[in-house]
Amino acid sequence: MATISELRVHRGRRAEGWLLVLSWALAVLARGLVDYHADYLELGALTWYAAGFAVAAAVLHIALRIFAPDSDQVVLPSVLGLIAVALAEIRRLDFAYAARGRDTDFAGTQIGWAILGAVVFIAVLIVIRDHRVLRRFTYTAGVLGIVMYLLPAVPGLGKEINGAKIWIGAFGHSLQPGEFGKILLVVFFAGYLQTNRDALALAGPKVLGMRLPRMRDMGPLAIMFGAALLIMINQKDLGAALLFFGIFIGMVYVATERISWVVIGLVLFVVGAIGAGIVFPHVASRYDAWLHAMDPQVYSSGKSEQLVRGLFGMASGGLFGTGLGNGRPDLVPYAESDFIIPSLGEELGLTGLMAILTLYVILVQRAMRTAIGVRDGFGKLLSAGLGFALTLQVFIVVGGVTRLIPLTGLTTPFLAYGGSSMVANWVVIALILRISDQARRPAQSPETRTDPATAPSRRRPDLEEAAAQ
């Protein structure tokens, strides 16, 4: 006879508190090292910074205790750990720019963006109490997502920076709407695939041992391929199109479990990327810088100068790095934004870079674990899609600066300077934690459910009148 015992579920909020203390210690230590090596160490300023970081971590921790008490306990400390390292490195670059006569305050501005992102994070947790409500806005999210990606094409609104047209001007600042568009498209993909997964997973012809989808089911893939090409042509950048198409292919694979969708998607994207390189000169220039980065003619033309400087910076860092404040990451253009990974690689070395990438692996692993644990299909696809978005974005950036793939204009989540990326990725984390709250919440036990025998019966005036007669 089987014995059923009550399983006690640990929410892990206390463990999260201790992990947040580690993130706080990392933030204070990194900032102290940067100030010390810049001969700018002031205990008063460092104390204020430590107190502010502690208050922010405590507020976020309390918000999770109130609004998502069963959510994953590892995600928030990992995010704050990434932000702590990034703020120190960006401040270090401010000192380096000041030494060269360039007055910047990227670190102060980035602290403001991080606080705004944290406020948006709490607002998402308060407003969206159940992630399943997002399914009602499946097609609205799809339309808005495409509009966000195409906004930079609007005359007078779009801004071309460094060859890529992925920004718009708003309130005196540059906004990258594609960062928010990716979240809306993940919501759309999750809702669409949850409804149509059976049709997409139907049997088709078998070719070379692989079962292919039927031609009439290829419509969604063809539409996404066309949209990715349109984004590539419009924005003059491979990264946004790769992120857009990659999220769709990854979520289709999760929904259908058919490798043929992945193979067909990769073939289509490679063919499209090669075609774009032949037709459009700006895409060909990116390929030239990637394939012939060390060619003196390509370097002297400026096509690969940024990439080569970043590679040499990471090489000089070696295994353990030069130390925070002891390298020369300021020699690489846009070291605080697009090339912050080489900056960190130079000063923290391969060891530090692997530690940073491990934090991303933890975030993605927790998103996938949430997808496995949540009980509804929409939540599974939404959590997996958000995990894919983080994975692809980090891979595209790290692959670009290490010359594994062509360089793109995407930013590293939580590390690169910029408000759009910071706020949008805080929203991604809020949604993952909201889903994990549902996934880790204990199922309602039969004893706590309403007993029909003892529950108050529904009043039937007609039967009462009949009994009285």
Q: What is the DSSP string of 217-258?
A: G-HHHHHHHHHHHHHHHHHT-HHHHHHHHHHHHHHHHHHH--
Using a 10 angstrom Cβ sphere, with 0-12 exposed, 13-18 middle and 19 or more buried, the burial of residue 50 is middle
User: How far is 118 from 138, CA to CA, in rounded Å?
Assistant: 26
Buried b (16+ CB within 10 A) or exposed e, 455-468: eeeeeeeeeeeeee
| 8 Å CB contact between 204 and 211 | yes
Give the three-state DSSP class for 39.
coil
Q: What is the DSSP string of 253-272?
A: HHHH--HHHHHHHHHHHHHH
Q: Flag residues of the chain having pLDDT under 70.
A: 1-10, 162-164, 202-213, 215-218, 221, 236, 443-469
- How much is the pTM? 0.88
| 8 Å CB contact between 269 and 228 | yes
Which tokens is 258 given?
């058919």
Buried b (16+ CB within 10 A) or exposed e, 312-348: ebbeebeeebbebbebbbbebebbbbbbbbbbbbbbb
Of 380, 60, 426, whose CA–CA distance to 191 is shortest? Answer: 380
Q: Report the number of secondary-structure helices (H) and strands (E) in the chain.
A: 16, 5
What single DSSP character describes residue 70? Answer: T
Instruction: For residue 332, give the amino acid letter.
Output: V
Q: What pLDDT does 460 receive?
A: 45
User: How far is 419 from 424, CA to CA, in rounded Å?
Assistant: 8
